[in-house]
Amino acid sequence: MHPGPVSDGSFDFDVLVIGAGYGGFDAAKHGCEHGLKVAIVESRDMGGTCVNRGCVPSKALLAASGRVRELADRQHLAQFGIHAGPVRFERQKIADHANQLVATIRANLTKTLERAGATILRGEGRLAGPQQVVVRESGSGLERTYRAKEVIIATGSEPFVPPGIETDGRTVFTSDEAVNLEWLPRWLAIIGSGYIGLEFADVYTALGCEVTVIEALDRVLPTFDPDIAKIAARHLLDGRDIDARAGVLAQTITPGCPVTIELVEMKTREPVETLEVDAVLVATGRVPSSSSLNLGAVGVETNRGFIPVNDRMQVLVGDEPVPHLWAVGDVTGKMMLAHTAAAQGAVAIDNILGHGRQIDYRSIPAATFTHPEISSVGLSEADAKELAARDGFELGVVRSYFKANSKALAELESDGLMKLLFNKGTGEVLGAHIYGLHAADLIQEIGNAVARRQSVRQLVNEVHTHPTLSEVVEVAYKQAALALAS
């Protein structure tokens, strides 16, 4: 196919977005709302990973399994003087709840785009050259070339399955299948202790499965703040009789009945043990979906598949932006979360509209929806220390405990910790890390403070409702204000 030259006025669309996940959706909607003529191409399911195979179904499963856990925790209930009978649950109904929620949210999202005026093109998109995208239509396989003033790549990511691990989708599977909750294995091994592995460990243990967690890195929960990881592992893994092993690599995994896992020591590659389990969930991270985009047509080189972008979401070759080409979401590899993708989508459109704007990753929170939750925003303690050394300020670190919070005590859920990082000179909040009840909601307040680069000097005067968990944050701000250099 030889697409013709692009001349002014010959564009089919102002903006063509490839991929209708959260990143593409937000870009398309925001573009339409600002008067742009927008098309969005989707090869699979509208809503992408988050709606169909990620945030939405996993949170539905966590909501149901969390209730099972609560009702089955006789000791906890007895402390309130409550005595419940044995808990019964229907796996299929829990799975149906997740599937129905997915269908509802997918339909709402599609309607929203249609109402906004976006043209939805069903098929696989790839670049044909500057400002040109070929779409191979789903079903017919026909190819059409579209010309767009601006092209936004929002093709997202897929589960990463390391070499040596064979998946069959039934006994060895990734989160793509786990969200369907098709069966409950008696013994499940989860490979990886990042947020996806942890959330599924929460679901499966609540529903009565025995879980083993295998982590190749030196410590479990390696992506979390070390202090938060310690307390979270104590409750979420040890407290649930999860056998969690760190520094151990699942070198080969063979599906079947049973599934066999050959474990070797990560450092020496010496054999450790062969496990025979009923099922394995591979939760070893995600890889970008960019291989079929024909990025060579515009001279873009990826970084292991991730598309390099600047903070305006312009695609880069070297340090130079490629004219009229943008990328947002997981495919950029920056904080691979749905709300990051959406925020990037809006930033790309704002820049297209000529309102120069940069994304601020530091103020974007992240949460793990275990029971209780884990959350964070801003810098890690290690990065904050580095920044302090570089910029010549003293780093302040204070801890606030849920044990001292009336609401947490009333709920009999007082295991929890918040760590606040701040500049001891200016008081600027640099980051926070929380483990405890509703940590995912609590982090937002600190995210907002980070976004405004606020100082604890100002924040300390903000009144928090009593009795609420938000007072954990208030206490941290007060301690930090006291620790400031006067």
Ligand X SMILES: Cc1cc2nc3c(=O)[nH]c(=O)nc-3n(C[C@H](O)[C@H](O)[C@H](O)COP(=O)(O)OP(=O)(O)OC[C@H]3O[C@@H](n4cnc5c(N)ncnc54)[C@H](O)[C@@H]3O)c2cc1C
Residues serving a catalytic function are 466
Radius of gyration of the chain from Cα atoms? 24
Give how far Cα 384 sits from Cα of 80, 135, 196, 392, Å. Answer: 42, 45, 26, 11
Report 204-243 residues binding ligand X (CB under 6 A): none
Between CA 362 and CA 30 the distance in angstroms is: 23
Give how far Cα 288 sits from Cα of 38, 301, 437, Å. Answer: 24, 13, 33
187, 278 contact by CB (below 8 A): yes
Residue 134 touches ligand X, criterion: CB under 6 A: no
Rule CB under 6 A: choose which of 28, 29, 54, 375 binds ligand X.
54
Task: Name residue 46's beta-bridge partners.
Answer: none
Q: Cα angle vertex 121, ends 115, 127, to 5°?
A: 130
Residue 177 touches ligand X, criterion: CB under 6 A: no
Residue 167 touches ligand X, criterion: CB under 6 A: no
Residue 416 touches ligand X, criterion: CB under 6 A: no
User: Which region, judged by CB under 6 A, interacts with ligand X, from 155-163, 261-269, 406-414, 422-430?
Assistant: 155-163
Q: Alpha helices of 13-136 — where are they, by DSSP H?
A: 22-33, 48-53, 55-72, 74-79, 91-116
Rule CB under 6 A: choose which of 30, 110, 113, 125 binds ligand X.
125
Q: Residue 330 or residue 413: which is nearer to ligand X going by CB?
A: 330
Q: Residue 173 or residue 477: which is nearer to ligand X going by CB?
A: 173
343, 329 contact by CB (below 8 A): no
Rule CB under 6 A: choose which of 289, 314, 376, 405 binds ligand X.
289
Residue 124 touches ligand X, criterion: CB under 6 A: yes
Q: Residue 188 or residue 336: which is nearer to ligand X going by CB?
A: 336
Residue 84 dihedral angles phi and psi, to the nearest 5°: -105, 160
Rule CB under 6 A: choose which of 15, 36, 38, 49 binds ligand X.
49
Between CA 363 and CA 348 the distance in angstroms is: 18
Smallest distance, ligand X to C-beta of residue 133, A: 9
Helix (H, G, I), strand (E, B) or coil at 146: strand
Rule CB under 6 A: choose which of 11, 13, 17, 23 binds ligand X.
23
Give how far Cα 53 sits from Cα of 86, 87, 167, 282, 368, Å. Answer: 31, 28, 17, 14, 16
Q: Residue 34 or residue 44: which is nearer to ligand X going by CB?
A: 44
Report 310-339 residues binding ligand X (CB under 6 A): 329-330, 336-339
User: Which region, judged by CB under 6 A, interacts with ligand X, from 149-157, 223-231, 306-314, 372-380?
Assistant: 149-157
Residue 44 touches ligand X, criterion: CB under 6 A: yes
Q: Residue 376 or residue 423: which is nearer to ligand X going by CB?
A: 376
Interacting residues toward ligand X by CB under 6 A: 18-24, 41-45, 48-50, 53-55, 58, 124-126, 154-157, 175, 196, 289, 292-293, 329-330, 336-339, 341, 369
